[in-house]
Chains A and B, each alone.
Chain A
Amino acid sequence: MHPTSHDFKANAHRAMRDEALQGALATLKKGFRAKRGVAVERLPEFEALRDAGRDMKNHVLAHLDHYLELFEAKVLAQGGHVHWARDAEEARRIVLDICRASNARTVTKGKSMVAEEIGLNAYLEKNGVRPVETDLGEYIIQLRDEPPSHIIAPAIHLNRGHVAQAFVKAHPQYPADRPLGEARELLDEAREVLRESFVTADLGITGANMMIAETGATIIVTNEGNGDLTQTLPRVHVVLTSIEKVVPTMEDATTVLRLLARSATGQEFAAYTTFSAGPRRAEDLDGPSEFHVVLLDNGRSNMLGGAFHDMLRCIRCAACINHCPIYGAIGGHAYGWVYPGPMGSVLTPALIGLEEARDLPNASTLCGRCEAVCPMRIPLPRMLRHWRGREFERHLQPGRVRLALKGWSWLVRHPTLYRLYTMAAVATLGMLGKRRGRFTSMPMAGGWTNTRDLPAPSARRGFMDQWATGRRR
């Protein structure tokens, strides 16, 4: 996917004028937040569970090589294959090679953010393999040829009208005037069309929410059951995931699962939690005859031990996104790449470069709500600030802003001059604003005064000035 993060401001401007999107965001905020709130309320040990999740992941990250090797050995022992991909390019090539080796023309796909990250669909298509998304949301955005706008609800920016339109265009086999106004009708049609793909696909690609080192199993969590059909029906199953998703034991996986569903959708458990461990065994009733796991690094191992280490604990639950007031105002596409919201604003600069994504860490009030809800206790605001620090070091901010900041910081450390300067400012502003108590426009503060008034100083002399001359109350 070609990033448009450098156009963040323009993207956001457009998003705030998109009525359908704004309607969807209002629903999203209410729904996800309320449901998570109830689910958390109902689990008295939720806070302790968060600690356990954090500690477990910290342990894994400290011994990542060990657990990955353990996992690999288990997969191999069960007759599966493990492929290591340093970057997106390598991962795409590996998947294509597997498709070619098994003569796959049509592949079904479960929802996978890693596949989005490496731009898999476009690549496969270019190389003669037809990918069909089977998660309803992913299917819809595939038809519309657009990226997901949310990591667990990829088509959240669309309404039923959009979906009906996309279906009429994409499914010419049905009468053009069929009723598609109800969610049920859309679902039924998608199910019918997708069923065909499920049975004809030669290969199925899924992501993985986790890999278990102890058993060599990968786990996917869905609410539609599409993942099960994607991975059991075709002859070949490819799991595409990233290295930080390994956990030591089944018990550890359970800790994450309990946090994940509650934080994401407010469910106690997702509707389907599916484990895959190796290809079909002799006594199995179904399953693929080939099983591959592709493990993507793509910059993650560089994050280990550094300022963004904690981000590798992320379980992609989207709680930070659902509670973010910025995401709530502009939606996911404005962020310009695969991962939106606070987790995206931390991750994206690490994965596609700070130059391209320089707006993302700044477009935050650091209100801290993301960290407050993150099940893995990831200090997202601290990391956003850290990116700002790197931008400052590399002079990536506008020179004018930098100069103003530097000037202020200098003045602040020279109290006598500071006092003279602020006394003059207060006296002037206080006098000019005396009649109305506020300004409706102010040179160089247009960002503020274009849309809101600027309160004027309430007095002609500041607090410290008055205090110095003896006022106490």
Chain B
Amino acid sequence: MSEKPKRVALFVTCLVDMFRPEIGFAAVKLLEDAGCIVEAPAGQTCCGQPAYNSGDRADAAAIARHNIALLAGFDYVVLPSGSCAGMIAKHYPPLFDDDPEMAGKARELARRTFELTSFLVDVLGVEAVAGASHSGTATYHDSCSGLRELGVKTQPRKLLGSVAGLTVSELAAPEECCGFGGTFCVKYPEISDRMVSDKAADATATGAALVLGGDLGCLMNIAGKLKRQGSRIAVRHVAEVLAGGPLVAPIGESGEE
């Protein structure tokens, strides 16, 4: 490649930062392997979805301002999450409907912002990951924002297709929400539980030993349900498997049991 390497800001998201840093490091490896220069801007915190989805537009806009400044100057901004990438790419611009200057900056950021697998495949043209292998069958949960706001569906599957030994067995209802929904899962726990129970049953019925997905919120929800049921199905972020490095224990497990 004679092109100048792309300078990518990795926005790991608050959940990955706190609950599963390995996803962030897997993303770094995938991006660097694809020839990018990766930085994780130090002032990053959260994309603002909790405020935005709770109707607090003023705080959501203030957080957006913070992130727009933070992420200025990078060629691209990549997130290992469809819903946080969707927040920046789809929901930041309309937050500034009455501020044309900020709206312009928000749109400019939106154009440079991508979900991880979609960035690798759609922008960088990655066809296969190098050196990843994982024997067994996995199923894939499409998180709602990634799927419907950003059109992330074929990209992770394409990359998983290059993981040696791995077969993907699809869910019967792949477009069904898992019931996480950010604050929804604690505001309406009963309905949320009902939805994630259906998702767990669907995953179990595929016979897969592993559930993969691109959003840690959904994955924590699904893993939390499966573990409560005593299921042996492992749950991981797709980047962990694609990066091909040594794996830590699956989500919600310690490896000590």
Which residues of A are interface residues toward B (Cβ below 8 A)?
9, 12-13, 16, 325-326, 329-330, 362-369, 371-372, 385, 387-393, 397, 401, 405-406, 408-413, 415, 418, 422, 425-426, 433-438, 440, 445-448, 450-459, 461-464, 466-468, 471-473
> Which of A405, A413, A448, A473 interacts with B189 by CB under 8 Å?
A448
Please measure, in the bound complex, the distance between the C-alpha atom of A435 and the C-alpha atom of B145, giving whole angstroms: 33
Q: Are A472 and B28 in contact (CB under 8 A)?
A: yes
Tell me whether B18 and A457 are in contact (CB under 8 A): yes
Docked-complex contact B185 and A453, CB < 8 angstroms: no
Bound-complex Cα distance A362 to B181 (A) = 10
B214, chain A: closest CB distance, angstroms: 15
CB distance from B90 to the nearest CB of A (A): 10
* Minimum C-beta distance from A24 to chain B (A): 15
State A385–B183 Cα separation when bound (angstroms): 13
Contact, CB under 8 Å: B50 / A405 = yes
A-B contact pairs, 30 of them (CB 8 A): A325-B179, A362-B184, A367-B177, A371-B148, A392-B54, A392-B56, A397-B54, A405-B56, A408-B46, A408-B50, A413-B66, A425-B18, A437-B252, A437-B254, A447-B189, A450-B189, A451-B190, A452-B228, A453-B252, A457-B20, A458-B19, A462-B21, A463-B16, A463-B24, A464-B42, A471-B25, A473-B25, A473-B29, A473-B32, A473-B245
B255 surroundings in chain A (CB, below 8 A): 437
CB within 8 Å of A: which B196-236 residues: 196, 220-221, 223-225, 227-228
Q: How far is the CB of A48 from chain B (nearest CB, A)?
A: 19
Q: Is B108 an interface residue (CB 8 A)?
A: no
Which of B's residues lie within 8 Å of A, judged by CB? 12, 14, 16-22, 24-25, 28-29, 32, 40, 42-46, 48, 50-57, 59-60, 62-63, 66, 144-145, 148-149, 175-177, 179-196, 220-221, 223-225, 227-228, 245, 248-249, 251-257
B45 & A458 in contact (Cβ 8 Å cutoff): no
A415 with B19: in contact, given A325-B195, A405-B56, A434-B254 (CB under 8 Å)? no
Judged by DSSP, the binding face of B is helix
Whether A453 contacts B227 in the complex (CB less than 8 A), given A12-B190, A366-B53, A472-B25, comes out as: yes
User: Which of A368, A412, A445, A468 interacts with B145 by CB under 8 Å?
Assistant: A368
CB-CB under 8 A from A411, the residues of chain B are: 45
